[in-house]
Amino acid sequence: MDEPFSNLDARIRVMARAFVKDIQRKLGITTILVTHDPADALTLADRITVLRRGSIQQIGLPNEIYDKPVNVFVANFIGDINLFNGLIIGKGNKVYFDGGDVKIQLPPSINVQGNEDVILGIRPEDVVLSKEVINNNDLTYVGKGIVEISEFAGGKFNVMVKLQSTEVKVVSSTSFGLGEPVHMYFNIHKIKIFDKQTEKLLYG
């Protein structure tokens, strides 16, 4: 099937995906679906192959492709992700990512060389916003920002927060007002580190 849902409106598209999935399961036949929409691939596929200019980038289960993309292209193609250029800096037994506005302490388990040019990635749903300071070992503090956009998206809010000159996409279960100051945290277990030159995944 080549882009079978591309001309359908959003509601019918969801129904059509479910219909195709049901038929495929009942008939037990192998089906190849070509799509540029990550939602099609993630909801329908048992296995996903990501292609770029005719070259296979990654093959895997939908959750593997989403959670452990092999490079920046796959991470950016399959779902939204915030990407920040910076350096990995080691100080004593502590490791930091320094990306200017985004400067955070990393877990010692991140085994990359000090002073290495990298790209840090974090998906919007793995960013936590709070009006108050949070003490949680699973979260690493990023800084204080200002809410620029807050859109209701049915049970969640798509939020854009500005940290000085850097904008960060966030998917939040909590509503925040425009212009409201918020504390920002990253889920330490969901951070991805990519090599700046090769754009290949180093950690995550």
Residue 3 in any domain: the answer is: no
> What 3-state class would DSSP assign to 23?
helix
Give the DSSP H/E element, type plus range, for residue 67: helix 62-67
Host domain of residue 65: 10-77
Q: Are residues 140 and 187 in the same domain?
A: yes
The CA distance from 33 to 21, in Å, is 11
Q: Mark which of 48, 77, 106 sits at the end of a domain.
A: 77
The tally of domains found in the chain comes to 2
Q: Which phi and psi angles does 109 have, rounded to 5°? A: -70, -15
CATH of residue 58 = 3.40.50.300
Q: What is the pLDDT along the chain (204 residues), one digit of tens a residue?
A: 999 888 888 889 889 999 998 998 899 888 999 999 998 999 899 999 999 999 999 999 999 999 999 999 999 999 899 999 999 887 767 888 999 999 998 887 777 766 589 999 999 999 999 999 999 989 999 999 999 999 998 889 999 999 999 999 999 999 999 999 999 999 999 999 999 999 999 988
Q: Are residues 24 and 39 in the same domain?
A: yes
CATH of residue 168 = 2.40.50.140
Residue 124 in any domain: the answer is: yes
pTM over 0.75, yes/no? yes
Q: Mark which of 77, 101, 134 sits at the end of a domain.
A: 77
* Selection from 2, 40, 49, 48 nearest residue 21 by Cα: 40
Residue 136 in any domain: the answer is: yes
